[in-house]
Amino acid sequence: MTAPHVEPTGPATTSSRGTRVLGLLTLAGLALLLGYALVWSPADIAQQDAVRLMYVHVPTAILAFVACFITTVASAMWLWRRSEGWWVLGGAAAEVGLVFTGICLLTGSIWGRPTWGTYWDWDPRITSTTLLFILLVGYLALRRIDNETGDAAQRGMRGAIVGLLLFPNVMIVHYSVDWWRSLHQTATITRLDPTIEGTMLFTLMLGIVVFGLLFTWLLVHRFRVGWLEERVGATGLDEALLERRAEAGITVPAGGSA
Amino acid sequence: MIAMTHVGYVAAGWGIALVTLGTYTFVTLRRGRRLAAQVPPEERRWS
């Protein structure tokens, strides 16, 4: 039986009161962050004003890692519970994570030119982050590939197994600067005695909070988009079944189920 | 006014980040709007 098409009465969007409040907070935070990152925070003695790239590069890197963690947890939960919510969350976090990883790579490359003298090097941190980016692309591609039988469970299984690999790869990215010789600096803020302080440390923390708000806002919207895609996909399947039955001359009584 | 060093790098880095995030936000909201119009309101638990 197919559900009759109902004209939506409310606003047909992925917004809610919560996301609107979060969106306004994010915009205000971004304005404040731009003030601190580009104007009020001091230049670094060694890097001069190139250090201002840190306030976008480091937060996006951290949130890319958070996204991978969410996808790995969602994949594990999908393998355990097989619920649609975990499947949708895994895909949403991976897509937002891909955007943040891409920005992290690009801003890191731009920052590398004035500080290291090169846009790119086969450095362990840069190379492992690029592999993470490729892994995210592969994960998202795998989720979209239908197998020959159209078996959703098999498609989900393949996606979830790749999803499980994301966070272990993040650990390789994180520890790569300790395990191998690297151009990239070691941990700056995750150690007990951070190597930056004052307004620079405040601006970096503000960047993490503001980009965190933006990440959360995007994740909620992207989750709802994924949820809607599943609903539309299910409706499309029902319609296709009806068409096939009509072609075969099988009639379904009005109000009855097939 | 104090002159900033590395202006081009700073502008490129921040510019790429903000334009990418802005574009992704726009695309995500537009996808949501298109899909939400095809789904009955009772399926949109948040609205």
Looking at the structure of chain A, the number of domains it has is 1
β partners of residue A44: A48
A75 part of a folded domain: yes
CB contact under 8 A, A43 and B4: yes
Model pLDDT, residue A197: 77
Which residues in chain A are contacts of B20 at CB distance < 8 A?
99, 102-103, 106
A192 part of a folded domain: no
Cβ(A115)–Cβ(A121) below 8 Å: no
Q: Give A152-181 pLDDT, tens digit per residue.
A: 777 788 889 999 999 999 999 988 888 887
**Does A1 score more than 90 pLDDT?**
no
Residues 53-112 of A with CB under 8 A from B: 53, 56-57, 60, 99, 102-103, 106-107, 110-111
Contacts of A52 (CB under 8 A, 6+ apart): A37, A38, A41, A43, B10, B14
Distance CA A44, CA A195 (A): 12
Model pLDDT, residue A134: 96
- Count the Cβ atoms, other than its own, within 10 Å of residue B7: 12
A132 part of a folded domain: yes
A131 part of a folded domain: yes
In angstroms, the separation between the Cα of residue B37 and the nearest Cα of chain A is 5
A13 part of a folded domain: no
**Residue at A95: amino acid letter:** E
Domain extent for A208: 55-187+198-232
A3 part of a folded domain: no
Q: Give B17-44 pLDDT, tens digit per residue.
A: 999 999 999 999 999 999 999 998 888 8
Provide the pLDDT confidence category of residue A5 given band limits of 50, 70 and 90. low
Among chain A residues, CA nearest to B25: A218
- Tell me, yes or no, if A8 comes closer than 8 A to chain B by beta carbon: yes
Mean pLDDT within A5-29: 84
* Cα–Cα separations (whole angstroms), residue A51 to A56, A106, A151: 10, 15, 50
Model pLDDT, residue A64: 97
- Tell me, yes or no, if B3 comes closer than 8 A to chain A by beta carbon: no
ipTM surpassing 0.90: yes
Give percent above pLDDT 90 in chain A. Answer: 63
Which residue out of B1, B5, B30, B42 would a mutagenesis test of the A interface target, given it has the greatest number of A Cβ atoms within 10 Å?
A: B5
Q: Which of B6, B29, B47 sits opposite A10 (nearest CB)?
A: B47
Which residues in chain A are contacts of B22 at CB distance < 8 A?
none
A6 part of a folded domain: no
**Does A256 score more than 90 pLDDT?**
no
- Tell me, yes or no, if A31 comes closer than 8 A to chain B by beta carbon: no
Q: Give A186-232 pLDDT, tens digit per residue.
A: 766 666 566 677 899 999 999 999 999 999 999 999 999 999 998 88
CB contact under 8 A, B31 and A11: no
Q: Which of B4, B9, B41 sits opposite A10 (nearest CB)?
A: B41
Among chain A residues, CA nearest to B27: A222
Model pLDDT, residue A97: 98
Model pLDDT, residue A68: 97
**DSSP label at A39?**
I
Model pLDDT, residue A190: 63
CB contact under 8 A, A231 and B4: no
A228 part of a folded domain: yes
Q: Give A108-155 pLDDT, tens digit per residue.
A: 999 999 999 999 999 899 999 999 999 999 999 999 887 556 677 777
